[in-house]
Amino acid sequence: MEKKPEIFTDFQLDALKEIGNIGAGNAATALAQMVGKRIDLSVTKVMVLRTDAIAAFLGGLDQNVAAVHMPVYGEIGGVILIFFPLERLSELSGMLIGKPDVNSSTLSELGQSSIKELGNILAGAYLNALFRLFHIQMIHGLPGLVLDMAQAILDTVLVELEQKEEVAIVIQTELMENEKQLTGSFFLLPEAGSLKRLFSAFQNSLGITGNG
Amino acid sequence: MAHRVLLVDDASFMRMMLKNILVGSGYEVVGEAENGAKAIDQYKALKPDLMIMDIIMPEMGGIDAVREIIKVNPAAKILMCSSMGQQSLVVEAIQAGAKDFIVKPFQPSNVLEAVKKALD
């Protein structure tokens, strides 16, 4: 039977939204500290999306995007993907390093390192939110950076995740820096069985027993 | 004489940030390593006064490297520096022998305060 987002209860969706809000707040604070500028949060949307709809959500199967990806381990396993707009990558790297990258199209080694580290820290912000809210212990592995078509990135990542849930948790955050908008999309693609453990953890943390 | 520091992180960008903070405050960065295994080799070769060590790295992670370095020198001074600030990781790092734990992203003042405290 296909799993559809509609089967998530209101309570479960609210719990995910809370993770999204707190995680996005932490992520914005983290980004502000890294670039040394004020970063405001304008909108945070939390969605549950079928994995086969992700590429279309990002603008189309052949849309070129930049993604930091990393495995996650612990009570919930899976893959984290953080997408940045490709056209803003060089600017973002410049803000982190403190000067424009020598290679604006594909980024220098230092530029790529800065984006991977940004993804590393943003992932930590969301996972720390999960832990603080619901005591779900997860750690992430080494980040990788890929610049490619959305579908190609997803195909590679989903192959590594041998058995997965059919849905992904998406936290889309719009950040503003000096009136410039930057939309970052955080995806958690859980391994099979993880969602059940995730929602049990939500219930346990609130002292709710029985079926939720 | 300036205190000698060894930086360990798989991200060259993070090593650059830390180096800028430390050198700007009069510390000497004597070496850099990109994983725990190289950190152990560099520690033995350079004998720094302090190490700043990431946790998640290829080949060998930071906490395993701390354990090995403490076997070499139980008085080694190591600060962990990671985006993962969960209590269990902090406890594990301290139990392995680290002196303190800095969560990324950090303010330069937090790094300098932790470095000063570890070296005192």
CA B56 to centroid of chain Cα atoms = 12
Torsion of CA A181, A17, A147, B57, to 10 degrees: 120
Residues 94-113 of chain A with CB under 8 A from chain B are 96-97, 109-110, 113
> pLDDT tens, A56-103?
888 776 778 889 999 998 888 899 999 888 888 888 888 888 887 777
Q: Closest chain A residue to B60 measured between Cα atoms?
A: A142
State what percent of residues in chain B have pLDDT above 90. 79
Note whether A186 and A28 are within 8 A (CB): no
| pTM check: above 0.90 | no
* List of domains in chain B: 4-25+32-72+80-103 (3.40.50.2300)
A107-121, A180-194, B79-93: the lowest-pLDDT one: A180-194
Look at residue A211 and tell me if it is in a domain. Answer: no
Token pair of A124 as six digits:
């930590």
Query: What CATH number is associated with residue A105?
Result: 3.40.1550.10
Token pair of A79 as six digits:
């893959």
Note whether B52 and B8 are within 8 A (CB): yes
State the total domains in chain A: 1
Question: What are the distances in angstroms from CA B81 to CA A46, A62, B100, B104?
Answer: 30, 38, 9, 7
Work out the mean pLDDT of chain A and round it to a whole number. 80
> Which residue is listed with tokens 């993604």?
A67
Q: B70 - beta bridge partners?
A: none
Look at residue A1 and tell me if it is in a domain. Answer: no
Distance from CA of A58 to the nearest CA of B (A): 27
